[in-house]
Amino acid sequence: MIEFRDFSLTYPTGSRPALREIDLVVPRGQFCAVVGAEGAGKTTLAGVISGVVPHMTGGASKGSARVCGRLLTETPPSELVGEVGLVMQNPFSQLSGARFSLREELAFGLENLGVGRAEMIRRVERVMADLRLTALADLSPYELSGGQQQLLAIGSALVMRPAVMVLDEPTSQLDAVGTGVVFDALETLRAQGVTVVLFEHRMERLARCVDRVLVLDEGRTAADGPPADVLTDPRLADWGVAPLRYTTAARRAVGRGLWEEDRPLPVTLEAAADGFAAALKSARTTGGL
Ligand SMILES: Nc1ncnc2c1ncn2[C@@H]1O[C@H](COP(=O)(O)OP(=O)(O)OP(=O)(O)O)[C@@H](O)[C@H]1O
């Protein structure tokens, strides 16, 4: 689905590559998260997958980057419409400004593609049902909350039935409620088997819903694997990524003999609760409490 081979990219004004020797294969249906410090290359990678970089920014590349077999550096973004859906940080800036209701906004891209009316209605209704937007169908996009607007942006991308969805920090401008709404929608995408690359810094939510986490550090792949491995890697902070609170608490508990050494460090609240409950039980049994 996504295939990068030894791919590097240097912006025209860049003194060093923003991406270096990236090898990345994301198969169909995989849900992959990309994390990294500021300037690590996350937005650049999102831009390459969605066709924005280098077509709209300029830049020289080496190696190859493909989505659905198409070489991204040779395919203009307009030709990727059916293949890649992009959702960016600011939901407001993604509204067309040309439509009066949420339902019409969802139909906008399909109208531009010349999709027939019956098919358009079918797709729009389906996306509204999947993202639980049906009750808001007749509201103006400008009456929606930030979280709802971001759901609309996700819906506008999804309605085009892209092979891959790229979400570049979709919750960074949202409050806790909006973030919850977007992560619930991501669970829906996952359940539907959509291939997703999510660039995100809210690791606690991310650890639950992704198959794989890739860490970028100064444009290179520093780590790549299941969240339970990558997010408990002791080098995470060296790569500029704050470890999860659960992992940090359990690591301290290991040091004090309060976390079973052979129990993996937790990356979710549930795993942390189970681990601490087991530690408490064993302390009670052995008379430690
Ligand atoms: N359009 C551009 N022209 C020149 N250099 C750029 C451009 N966009 C990004 N860069 C540089 O490329 C490197 C990677 O930036 P990028 O925005 O991809 O990182 P990031 O991980 O998304 O960072 P942040 O979390 O701050 O958004 C940085 O050194 C940045 O200064």
Domain spans, the chain: 2-100+159-238, 247-285
Residue 40 Cβ contacting ligand 1 at under 6 Å: yes
117 φ, ψ to 5°? -60, -45
Q: In which region does residue 249 sit, left (phi positive, over 0), alpha (psi from -120 to 50) or beta (all else)?
A: alpha
Kindly give the distance from the C-alpha atom of residue 92 to the centroid of ligand 1, in angstroms, as a whole number. 22
Rg of the chain over Cα atoms, rounded to whole angstroms, equals 21
Cα(1) to ligand 1 centroid in Å equals 25
Split at pLDDT 50, 70, 90, the class of 289 is low
The complex's ipTM? 0.97
pLDDT digits (tens, 9 = 90+) for 156-207: 999 998 989 999 998 888 888 888 888 888 888 888 888 999 998 778 888 8
pLDDT of residue 201: 78
Index of the ligand 1 atom closest to the CA of residue 201: 25
- Select from 20, 42, 45 the residue to mutate for testing ligand 1; criterion: most ligand atoms less than 8 Å from CB: 42
Hey, what CATH class is 2-100+159-238 in? Answer: alpha beta
Ligand 1 centroid to residue 38 C-alpha, Å: 8
Residue-level pLDDT at 107: 95
Q: For residues 277 and 108, what is the distance between their CA atoms, to the nearest angstrom?
A: 52
Pocket probe mutation, ligand 1, options 43, 53, 90, 197, max atoms within 8 Å of Cβ: 43
DSSP 216-240: EETTEEEEEE-HHHHTT-TTGGGGT
The answer on pLDDT for 132 being more than 70 is: yes
